[in-house]
Structure 1
Amino acid sequence: MKKVTVFILLISFTLVLKAQTNAERKVQILVEKLRLAMISGNRADLETLASKDLSYGHSGGKLEDFAAFVEALASGKSDFVSIDFVKQTLKISGRTALVRHELNAKTNDGGKPNEVHLGVLLVWQKEGKAWKLLGRQAYKLP
């Protein structure tokens, strides 16, 4: 009986780890799609990735909802020339994923070239079968 119980526990643990790894892979792919969509400003991609309940916080304190986030990038008002995410970590907790990274980017907002280096927390939530960006908060790094 003990062997059966141990076997069932081992199988259950293996299945949980496999599901966790699968979810992590899916979120990592979505983070990369978000990076590319922020550079391209592709409205359809941005709308697909983000939740309608999105709260998008900038390092200077400005907050955007779903519509403002999409419009800023799709219109070119917020213009990323390049973006790199470094030192990325990912943690899945149930139907929520927390992603932290440092964002290094070249921008051209209003025709003014600039470089930014920020810390970012992304909150992804599973809506039905799809992961959606629910929250984003950038902060200045020391």
Structure 2
Amino acid sequence: MQAHCSNEQLMKKTIFLAFVLFAGIAVFAQSKDEKELVERTYLLSHTVFGSKDSLTLEDLFAKKATYGHSHGNLQTREQAIAGITKNKSRYTDTAVSNVQVLKYDDDVAIVRHLFKANENKVDGTVTPLNFAMMLVWVKEKKKWRLLGRQAVSIQ
């Protein structure tokens, strides 16, 4: 026995499938940016608290970046990159968690996350770090780049 659809049923199915298709495309486009933002956030953390590679930092930072530390010090792009690459501390037990992406338009997004680590200073002291981070990312030359960073100590 063959089932026949009325024109109205066929139209409803077509509209539903079109909606699913367009919703899927929108989610895919959004998730691509979100995925890149999360990847760049982890790369930034790994570079700042790990490799301290200046070329990676140059690629991650926007031209007009500002870099805020938990103790209130603000640095320009150049000051931040120089400070990170010259930092002799080693960081252990690093953990990035609770990453949240808030995308405002095609070229501006905020990423919030938590960061924990132990800072092993040259003098042998170890300081536990527990920060809430807010990163402002902008698209420059088709790449997400860090425009602003603010760390806040949490207990």
TM-score bracket for the superposition, by shorter chain length? 0.7 to 0.9
* 2:116 corresponds to: 104
1:87 partner SS: strand
* 2:27 corresponds to: 17
Taking the TM superposition and a 5 Å limit, the aligned residue runs for 1:3-82 are: 10-38=20-48, 39-76=50-87, 79-82=89-92
Q: How far 1:126 moved relative to its partner?
A: 1.0
* 2:146 corresponds to: 133
CA contact (8 A) 2:129 2:153 kept: no
Q: How far 1:87 moved relative to its partner?
A: 1.8
Q: How far 1:93 moved relative to its partner?
A: 2.0
Q: How far 1:49 moved relative to its partner?
A: 0.6
Most deviating of 88-97 and 16-25: 88-97
In structure 2, the gaps of 5 or more residues are 1-10
CA contact (8 A) 1:80 1:105 kept: no
In structure 1, the gaps of 5 or more residues are none
CA contact (8 A) 1:90 1:97 kept: yes
Q: How far 1:13 moved relative to its partner?
A: 3.1
Give TM-score scaled by structure 2 length.
Answer: 0.79
* 1:119 corresponds to: 132
Q: How far 1:9 moved relative to its partner?
A: 5.2
* 1:84 corresponds to: 95
Amino acid at match of 2:25: L
CA contact (8 A) 2:38 2:99 kept: no
CA contact (8 A) 1:102 1:117 kept: yes
1:6-32 superposed Cα distances (whole Å, 9 cap, x missing partner)? 765554433221110011111111111
Coordinate RMSD, CA, aligned: 2.2
User: Are positions 1:93 and 2:124 aligned together?
Assistant: no
Most deviating of 61-70 and 102-111: 102-111
Amino acid at match of 2:119: T
Amino acid at match of 1:105: A
